[in-house]
Amino acid sequence: MSILLDKSTKVLVQGITGRDGAFHTRQMLDYGTQIVGGVTPGKGGQLTDDGLPVFNSVQEAVGETGATASVIYVPARFAAAAVSEAVEAGIGLVVCITEGIPVLDMVTVYHQVAAQGARLIGPNCPGIISPGKAKIGIMPGAIHEPGRVGVISRSGTLTYEIVHALTTRGIGQSTCIGIGGDPIVGSSFRDLLPLFEDDDETDAVVLVGEIGGDEEERTAAFIQDHIRKPVFAYVVGQTAPEGKRMGHAGAIVSGNAGTAESKIKAFGAAGVPVAGTIDELADTVRAKLE
C-alpha cells in the first residue's frame, strides 16, 4: 500500500506551461502518474506538448477532469494564491514545490488549508513518491523501489541519498514525502506519522530531520505516546559550525534550541535510534527488519 498517493490519484499541474512545470509534468507522466491537465490563467483551451488540456482556473479544471490532487510550479509571488485557489476548488492534496514564499503568505494559507480540511505538502519541498505507482513533484524515480519503509524528510537532497542507501540494501519504500524546510510548512512529521502507523503495508518509518526549530523534539514526544512501529532518524547538520545558518530557511539555531544535540537527545529519550551517517542509518534499518 501507500499513503496519500497511488496510481488512481488524478493530478493537476498548476503552472503546467512554464519551464519547470512542463519539464516535471513529462517526468511524472513517464513515472506513471495520472496527470489529467494543468492550469495557467490566460492559456485555457490549449493543449500541452503531451496532449494535456490547459485550463484558466483550478475550479474549471476540477469540474472537467475530477482531479483530487494538485502540484504547484509557479513563481513565489503567486504560489500562495495558487494553493488558496486549489483548496477553494476542492482539491484535497496540494503539493507546493515553489521555494521563497513569504512567511506571512504561508501563515494565511496554512490556516485556510486547515479550514478546508485539505492537506498541503511543502512549500519548498521535493514532493511525494509512492514507488512503482506515482509521484508528484521532483523526486528522481530511478532511486526508489517499492517496499515497506516510509520516509518523511525536511531535507530534499539528503532524502535522495538516504533512499538510495536503503534501495541498494534491498529496502524498498512504501511512500516517501519531502515536507520542506521552511519555517512554516503544510504538514509536519506529526501530521504524517499516523498515516504510516495505520498503513498495513508499512513496517517502519525513517525520519530525516535537520537543525533549527523544535519539530524533531515535538515529534519525539509524539512518537513516544502514539507510534508503535519502529522509527529511525537522521539529523542533518550534526557538524554545523556554531552560529551559522545552514540550508533551509527553517534551519535556524537560537542559543541551545534547535541544535542537533537537542534533537538527538529527544529522539533517544523516545527510543528512536539516531544514526551518525547515512550508511549507518540504512544498515540499522536493515538489521531491524531482517
Mean pLDDT of 239-264: 63
Shared domain check, 115 and 168: no
- pLDDT at residue 278, rounded to an integer: 95
- pLDDT at residue 228, rounded to an integer: 98
Determine the straight-line distance between the first and last CA of the chain, rounded to whole angstroms. Answer: 20
CATH assignment of the domain containing 111: 3.40.50.720
Angle, helices 260-269 vs 215-226, to 10°: value is 0
Tens-place pLDDT, residues 21-69: 999 999 999 999 999 999 999 999 999 999 999 999 999 999 999 999 9
Q: What is the mean pLDDT of the chain?
A: 93
Among residues 77, 93, 121, the one where a domain terminates is 121
Structural domain including 77 reads 10-121
- pLDDT at residue 2, rounded to an integer: 85
Name residue, grid cell 503568505.
105
- pLDDT at residue 181, rounded to an integer: 86
Mean pLDDT of 241-255: 53
pLDDT band at 257 (very low <50, low <70, confident <90, very high): low
Q: Would the pLDDT of 135 be above 60?
A: yes
- pLDDT at residue 244, rounded to an integer: 54
Q: What's the domain count of the chain?
A: 2
Shared domain check, 160 and 105: no
Look at residue 134 and tell me if it is in a domain. Answer: no
Q: Would the pLDDT of 239 be above 70?
A: no
Q: What percent of the chain has pLDDT over 90?
A: 86
- pLDDT at residue 85, rounded to an integer: 98
Among residues 121, 154, 179, the one where a domain terminates is 121
Angle, helices 76-88 vs 58-65, to 10°: value is 50
pLDDT band at 213 (very low <50, low <70, confident <90, very high): confident
Shared domain check, 80 and 160: no
User: At 69, which helix (H) or strand (E)?
Assistant: strand 69-72
Question: How many CB atoms lie under 10 A from the CB of residue 203?
Answer: 18
Tens-place pLDDT, residues 189-201: 999 999 999 999 9
- pLDDT at residue 258, rounded to an integer: 78
The residues annotated as belonging to the active site are 248
Query: 275 and 232 in contact (C-beta within 8 Å)?
Result: yes
Mean pLDDT of 134-138: 98
Q: Would the pLDDT of 255 be above 60?
A: no
Shared domain check, 262 and 159: yes
